[in-house]
């Protein structure tokens, strides 16, 4: 429980201090087109999944495809990790079933 509180506190502090804005560069990695900020902010993405567990990580996936999305990893109440995808245009959240075999119990066995 203490770990969950620490993780949530660190995540909130990073968001409040502008960590999200600092993550956006003015050009893509290969120097082509400028990178655009998503329509849905990190805070909105977090709010969309907050009722499903404690947020462990949040990443913006925008590989130039048609649908940018926030990838969110949650720790559920039963101690398992669960991946969610939040559409970066609509804030619609859904469980990520692309890796349904992930049955991690939150321990770092790697």
Note the pLDDT of residue 4: 54
The tens digit of pLDDT for each residue in 2-54 reads 555 556 555 555 554 444 444 444 445 556 666 667 889 999 999 999 999 99
The pTM of the full predicted model, rounded to 2 decimals, is 0.58
DSSP state string for 64-107 = SSS--EEEEEEE-TTS-EEEEEEETTT--EEE--TTTT----S-
Taking only the tens place, the pLDDT of each residue in 60-82 is: 987 766 688 999 999 999 999 99
pLDDT reading at 101 higher than 50: no
């Amino acid at each position: 429980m203490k770990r969950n509180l620490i993780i949530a506190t660190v995540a909130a502090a990073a968001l409040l201090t502008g960590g999200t804005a600092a993550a956006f560069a003015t050009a893509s990695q290969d120097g082509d087109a400028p990178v655009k900020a998503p329509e849905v902010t990190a805070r909105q993405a977090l709010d969309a999944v907050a009722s499903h567990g404690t947020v462990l990580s949040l990443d913006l996936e925008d590989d130039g495809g048609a649908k940018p999305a926030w990838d969110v990893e949650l720790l559920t109440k039963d101690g398992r990790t669960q991946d969610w995808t939040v559409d970066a245009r609509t804030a619609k959240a859904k469980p990520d079933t692309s890796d349904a075999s992930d049955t991690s119990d939150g321990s770092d066995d790697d």
